[in-house]
Chains A and B, each alone.
Chain A
Amino acid sequence: QSALTQPASVSGSPGQSITISCTGTSSDVGGYKYVSWYQQYPGKAPKLMIYEVSNRPSGVPDRFSGSKSGNTASLTISGLQAEDEADYYCSSYTTSSTYVFGTGTKVTVL
């Protein structure tokens, strides 16, 4: 299974909105609602930010939102803050009953 495709880096100024894309196939992203997004700081374990395409776990700021169109899922961070600077990964369930992660995106707050 091939990793989902994400941009290597995305940047924005405080207060701006940024969007990270996650492109797969009809066998993963396009075929299931089980798309999740994770935030990871250096040296730390990933943290779940979005599940089932667009749902936020308790405690995740509503600045984070998710969506999907066809084989591409997206994570949008509105009102970008300094603490949002981190790596972000998407993941999806697949037709083989396995999981696949995205290549990862480094978000820089200018």
Chain B
Amino acid sequence: QVQLQESGPGLVKPSETLSLTCAVSGGSISTYYWSWIRQSPGKGLEWIGYIYNNGNTNYNPSLKSRVTISVDTSKNQFSLKLSSVTAADTAVYYCARDHWGPFDFWGQGTLVTVSS
């Protein structure tokens, strides 16, 4: 059974860079696409972007200028960086496996608050 676990700081200051990592266990990261998805408090889901093991990425156009997703196949993990954060970036951030269409495995999510 594939399991995903997000990790990273729970508090980030405005204008700084949010950095999260998703560790994948129970399966190789060298297959499938891997996505980051977020959910602002009381709001809906927002897809952030995905990465494939060869480094191929694609991002939500609304976040593209601030997002970088990278993969470390040796550690079976992938990461998210979101720069120049504001309070609007406060959300629960999820990592998920993209099974060529559906997101079939999800991490438990991690709350990141942007505040000084």
Chain A residues packing against B (C-beta within 8 Å): 1, 3, 33-34, 36, 38, 45-48, 51-52, 57, 89, 91, 93, 96-104
Contact = CB atoms under 8 A, between A and B. Distances in A.
A33 B100 CA distance: 11
Contacts of A99: 35, 47, 50, 98
A52 B102 contact: yes
Contacts, number: 63
B28 interface: no
16 contacts: A1-B61, A1-B62, A45-B94, A46-B45, A48-B103, A51-B99, A51-B101, A51-B102, A57-B102, A91-B45, A98-B58, A98-B60, A99-B47, A99-B98, A101-B37, A102-B44
Interface of B: 35, 37, 44-47, 50, 58-62, 94, 98-104, 106-109
